[in-house]
Amino acid sequence: MTAVVDRLRSDRPVFSVEFFPPKDAEAERQLWRAIRELEPLDPAFVSVTYGAGGSSRDRTIRVTGRIAQETTLTPVAHLTAVNHSVAELRNVIGSYASVGVRNILALRGDPPGDPNGEWVKHPQGLTYAEELVRLIRGLGDFCVGVAAYPFGHPRSADLDTDAEFFVRKLRAGAHYAVSQMFFRVEDFLRLRDRIAARGIDLDEVPLLPGLMPIRSVKGIQKMAEMANTEIPPEVIARVEPYAGNLESVRAVGVDIATELAERLLAEGLKQLHFYTMNRSNSTVQVLDRLGLLPARARG
């Protein structure tokens, strides 16, 4: 299977997308509609999230495996350390390999039930994401990604400490990183500067900016709280007047995401990562406005 990092090294801008495992049959149909609609657009990779404490582990493995076996896409499976022993983590990594998945996003993970609750290490588990990176890299020919936090991980004392922990993940063997969502380009650029100042070559270890086209006011506020992300007042001011009209909110969300992406590309970024919420239309519209759709997919 193609390594994600090879797909990210391109002379032209590329994009990737994130899905979450479905909870029921209708949600699974919606997920596969989004997958099939995005497949012809040739994303660099598609990632599938992993619930807190492994709560969606089996669904994540199944969905990621189906993507690997039934589509032309390059899938990335998420894996979290929380609530897992090392033996269980080895088993999950082996399950991914058995369905043809060799690209994994390594995360420490949030406590189940309350993302901001106390993080408790499994007695036979791991404490940090860097340890998970080493475990995965030691088990075979895997391409490993990690998370980056424009506002700092909620458990980091400050931004400098957060940057140090992030760099440790890269030096443990991570090949690339994906940022949490943000709504001010400056927040991402400052993160990039903190990392580059510590001697990391971001041409060799790509750092992808995470963009989420807003689909609902309540939805984005909930997501921001879970991700420890700040929504600037100027963004709220643009979407809140349309809170009762989801189509209008979505249209403004496409505008905001497009503006962010245009500025990132102007800053020299060549990769964009979209949090899709298992929908394709907003992401496709942004890509169309950016001129990043393949010629055959343009309307």
9 vs 52, 177, 202, 223, 225, CA distance in Å?
31, 13, 11, 30, 32
Spatial contact of 208 and 271, defined as CB atoms under 8 Å apart: yes
Give Cα 48 distance to the centre of its chain: 8
User: Has 118 been annotated as catalytic?
Assistant: no
Give Cα 79 distance to the centre of its chain: 12
DSSP letters, the chain, are: ---HHHHH--SS-EEEEEE---SSHHHHHHHHHHHHHHGGG--S-EEE---GGGTTHHHHHHHHHHHHHHSS--EEEEEE-TT--HHHHHHHHHHHHHTT--EEEEE--PPSS-TTS-----TTS-SSHHHHHHHHHHTSS-EEEEEE-TT--TTSSSHHHHHHHHHHHHHTT--EEEEEE-S-HHHHHHHHHHHHTTT--TTTS-EEEEE-----HHHHHHHHHHHT----HHHHHHHGGGTT-HHHHHHHHHHHHHHHHHHHHHTT--EEEEE-TT--HHHHHHHHHHT-S-GGG--
CA proximity to 61, closest of 101, 33, 116: 101
Residues classed as catalytic = 18
